[in-house]
Amino acid sequence: MIKVMSKIQLIGSKGLLGEVIKALHELGIVHIESIPSRISLEDTYLKREPIEREKALLKERLEKVLGRLKGIYMLLPAAKAEEMVEGIIPVLLADITSNAFLDKVDSLEQEVRGLHAERAGLSEEISSIERYEKILKGIAPLVAKLKGINSFETMGITIDRAKEDIIPLLETEISRITEDKYQLFVKDIDKDIVGVVITYPKKYDAKIKALISSEAISEIKLPERYAEMTLFDALKNMVRRREDVPALVSDIDNKLNALSEKWYKTLERLMGLLRDTIDELKALAYCAHTRFTFVIVGWIPKEKFNILSSTVSNRFGDRVIVREIQVREDEIDLIPVYIKNPKLLRPFEIFLRVLPPPKYGSVDPTPYLALFFPTFFGLILGDIGYGIILFFLSLYLKKLYKTKEYISNLASIFVISSLFAIVFGILFGEFFGDLGERLGLLHPIIFDRLKAMKVFLLLSIGIGLGHVTLGLMLAIVNYIHRGKGKEALAKASMLILLFTLIIILAVLAEYLPKEMITPSVLVMLAAFIILTLLEGIIGPLEVLKSIGNILSYARIMAIGTASVALAMVANKLGGLTGNVILGILIAGLIHTINIFLGILSPSIQSLRLHYVEFFSKFYQTGGRRYEPFKKTGK
């Protein structure tokens, strides 16, 4: 739910400002608001002044140190908790900004960056060796034949197979230049490249290279490390080097891991300390003061006001006053939004993080997500076997990623959703499709989804009607709560118009008695007139859009039925093989695909029904997130 917020004001002696900021930082519950440049407080004018020059310089220096530490931290491999060694952390800012500490940072940074540069060089060298080795191995036998001819020059070139027709023309030109004093060897390197080795007297070297260059042919230029070697010697050294490099890379990785064990946690905590100090220096700019007094304005959950009041009173006595001040009408939309739900519902809050926060005073949709998302998911998946697999898979992921909040919350959602899938699987009589029924263990309790598709469709649309109606009712509550009677009446008229349209359609389809049509038409006309007066032609069009939204819930039936059909296909194909092992393999493969689709499709469609069909009726964006001023480090 969206918690009620209080606007608070702290007033105290200017000399205590730094200590009060630190106290609020440690408490971590006040959302500090920036004060306008000039405000009036009981006939006394206060102004917001820039941070003192000394503190501004300190902030700038700390930000630079933080940037350097972050750069080193990002280059170190993440150390496991059990491998970390507790480092010595300076407790004074003077220590962190001292030349001795900065020298230590310089030394560590040079060492880490040097190791990474060395590792990158080795990786590049391996890539270069792999690229050249294939070519050199192809032409090595040709080069070996020419070994020892000191007065001759040897050149290796590669030609794309698509251009190999150029080789006879090239040979003719070489023969002309060297006066027929040459040898040319051709070797297939692979399906795309042809290798050519040419040997000729050294005095023709410049002309041959000019020819090769003019024909846009790639000469085999060795990496700098092997530039002075012959092709044959280069190949031998490359092979030897390739065997040595992995050990060198492993040695560098070991050194980086050793540095990580020593520094990773220390850097983490140092960065936290620096961030907190920088935040405190930034917070000074949010405050207003006179020559002797400071004022801090902020927001706090109403339920935590007593905690703030008692903390400040215990620490500063009557030297600092905390008071709750009245919120002006023009400030309502500026109140930060603090959403806090019971532990069971909290994981579903991750689905709201992709949306802008709702306005203060509106409805928190988390409880409705927590109810309807697993319901829609279970209706679509609706299989005991798939539900059990998803349940244990989600529990495993929750345990594996318990330190990663997002994945852990997502796993919790799927644990709950899998239980709904199991319950609906029992009601539909499905265990890996019709396997339970084939074994005589299960039978549908409410209906068979494949045989009663019309019933399933009506159920899905009925759920859609209820869901969209709930959205409109929440919109009415939203507007009433915010004192917007006109908008609330418009939504009520829209809801009445929607229901009368549905009643008329039901009468025409002979689902309801004909006597209901006259009063329904009269109520519909009245609602139409009121809605048109309040919102113009857009209002009735929104009703038609809502009918479309309701029909969208038919996707619950469509995707659920497709999942059942695929499960039955898996069982049928497995049974047709005539071989138990092969049948299990085929059925297992199709069921695995179906499980994957059974997790992905219900999740996407359930979220779509909430974001598009449900939230569009009442969810009001434009709020500000509650961001308390709290420490990130220790």
Structural domain boundaries in the chain: 5-62+277-337, 363-618
Tell me, what's the pLDDT at 436?
Answer: 82
Helices (H) and strands (E) in the chain, counts: 19, 13
Tell me, what's the pLDDT at 410?
Answer: 93
pLDDT at residue 18 greater than cutoff 60: yes
Does 486 or 133 have the greater pLDDT score?
486
Global pTM reads: 0.71
CA pair distance 425, 436, nearest whole angstrom? 10
Q: Distances in Å between the alpha carbon of 367 and those of 53, 356, 380?
A: 50, 18, 20
Share of the chain above pLDDT 90, in %: 19
pLDDT-wise least confident of 94-103, 231-240, 310-319: 231-240
Tell me, what's the pLDDT at 42?
Answer: 47
Banded model confidence at residue 309, pLDDT cuts 50, 70, 90: very high
Sheet holding 218-219, edge to edge: 183-188, 193-201, 152-160, 218-219
User: CB–CB of 280/25 below 8 Å?
Assistant: yes
**Mean predicted confidence (pLDDT) in 149-156:** 66
**Mean predicted confidence (pLDDT) in 266-294:** 83
Does 478 or 129 have the greater pLDDT score?
478
Q: What is the DSSP letter of 191?
A: S
**Mean predicted confidence (pLDDT) in 599-620:** 90
Banded model confidence at residue 62, pLDDT cuts 50, 70, 90: confident
User: CB–CB of 387/381 below 8 Å?
Assistant: yes
Q: 131: buried, middle or exposed (CB in 10 Å: 19+, 13-18, 0-12)? A: exposed
- Highest-scoring range by mean pLDDT, 21-25, 370-374, 586-590: 370-374
Tell me, what's the pLDDT at 40?
Answer: 47
**Mean predicted confidence (pLDDT) in 157-178:** 82
Tell me, what's the pLDDT at 598?
Answer: 86
Backbone angles phi, psi at 2, to 5 degrees: -85, 115
- Highest-scoring range by mean pLDDT, 197-211, 222-236, 604-618: 604-618
pLDDT at residue 395 greater than cutoff 90: yes
**pLDDT tens across 538-583, in order?**
888 888 888 888 999 999 999 999 988 888 888 888 777 777 788 8
**Closest by Cα among 541, 545, 503 to 522:** 503
Task: List all residues 6 or more positions away from 483 whose beta carbon is below 8 Å from its beta carbon.
Answer: none
Tell me, what's the pLDDT at 88?
Answer: 47
Q: Where are the alpha helices (DSSP H) in 324-404?
A: 366-381, 384-400
User: CB–CB of 378/417 below 8 Å?
Assistant: yes
Crossing angle between the packed helical segments 366-381 and 453-481, to the nearest 10 degrees: 170
Q: Report the CATH fold assignment for 5-62+277-337.
A: Alpha-Beta Plaits (3.30.70)
Task: List all residues 6 or more positions away from 373 whose beta carbon is below 8 Å from its beta carbon.
Answer: 348, 351, 413, 417, 606, 607, 610
pLDDT at residue 374 greater than cutoff 90: yes
**pLDDT tens across 205-252, in order?**
888 888 877 766 665 556 666 666 766 677 677 777 778 888 888 899
Banded model confidence at residue 633, pLDDT cuts 50, 70, 90: low
**Residue 378 burial (CB count, 10 A):** 26
pLDDT at residue 68 greater than cutoff 50: yes
Banded model confidence at residue 417, pLDDT cuts 50, 70, 90: very high
Task: Report the phi/psi class of residue 32: left, alpha or beta, with left for phi > 0 and alpha for psi in -120 to 50.
Answer: beta
User: CB–CB of 208/176 below 8 Å?
Assistant: no
CA pair distance 390, 599, nearest whole angstrom? 8
Q: What is the mean pLDDT of the chain?
A: 83
Tell me, what's the pLDDT at 634?
Answer: 52
User: CB–CB of 202/148 below 8 Å?
Assistant: no
User: CB–CB of 35/286 below 8 Å?
Assistant: yes
Does 486 or 91 have the greater pLDDT score?
486
**Mean predicted confidence (pLDDT) in 20-39:** 80
CA pair distance 592, 265, nearest whole angstrom? 41
3-class SS letters over 335-352: CEECECCCCCCHHHHHHH
User: CB–CB of 489/534 below 8 Å?
Assistant: yes
Tell me, what's the pLDDT at 422?
Answer: 94
**Mean predicted confidence (pLDDT) in 499-522:** 84
β-pairing, 288-289 vs 293-301, is antiparallel
Banded model confidence at residue 512, pLDDT cuts 50, 70, 90: confident
Banded model confidence at residue 262, pLDDT cuts 50, 70, 90: confident
Tell me, what's the pLDDT at 460?
Answer: 92
